[in-house]
Structure 1
Amino acid sequence: MTSKGDLTKARLAQSMLELIQASGYSGTGLNAVIEHASAPKGSVYFHFPDGKEELGVAAVALAAKQFEAMIIQAAQSAGGAGEAAKLAIQALAAIISDSGFRLGCPVSVVTLEMGDSSERLRQACATAFESWIAPTAALLEADGVDRAQAKSLATVIVSTIEGAAILSRAMKNTQPLLAAADAVGELIGLRRQGEGTQS
Structure 2
Amino acid sequence: MGRKGDDTRGRLLDATQELVEAGGYFGAGMNQVIAASGMPRGSLYFHFPGGKDHMVAESLRRSGHRIEMAAQELAETAPDAAALVTGMLGLLGDRLEESGWRKGCPVATVALEMAAGHDELQQVCAGVYDSWEGALRDRLIADGHPEAEDVATTVLALIEGALLLARTRRSREPLERVGRRITTLL
**Do they superpose with TM above 0.5?**
yes
1:162 aligns with 2:163: no
Greater gyration radius? 1
2:158 aligned partner, one-letter code: T
Residue 141 of structure 1 corresponds to which residue in structure 2?
A: 141
- For structure 1, list consecutive stretches of 5 or more residues without a partner in the other structure: 189-199
- The answer on whether the counterparts of 1:24 and 1:106 sit within 8 Å (CA) in structure 2 is no
Q: Can you list the C-alpha shifts for 1:108-142, whole angstroms capped at 9, x where unaligned?
A: 10011111221100000000000101111111111
Q: Can you list the C-alpha shifts for 1:173-193, whole angstroms capped at 9, x where unaligned?
A: 1110111111111111xxxxx
Residue 191 of structure 1 corresponds to which residue in structure 2?
A: none
Shift in alpha-carbon separation, 1:72–1:186, aligned structure 2, 3 A: same
TM-score of the two chains, using structure 2 as the length reference: 0.95
| Structural mapping, 1:5-154, within 5 Å | 5-146=5-146, 149-154=147-152
- The answer on whether the counterparts of 1:14 and 1:62 sit within 8 Å (CA) in structure 2 is no
- The answer on whether the counterparts of 2:81 and 2:143 sit within 8 Å (CA) in structure 1 is yes
1:179 aligns with 2:180: no
SS in 2 for 1:106: coil
Q: 1:82: how far off? A: 0.8
Query: Aligned-residue CA RMSD in angstroms?
Result: 1.4
Shift in alpha-carbon separation, 1:82–1:57, aligned structure 2, 3 A: same
**Comparing 137-146 with 84-93, which one deviates more in the overlay?**
137-146
- The answer on whether the counterparts of 1:101 and 1:169 sit within 8 Å (CA) in structure 2 is yes
Q: 1:2: how far off? A: 4.7
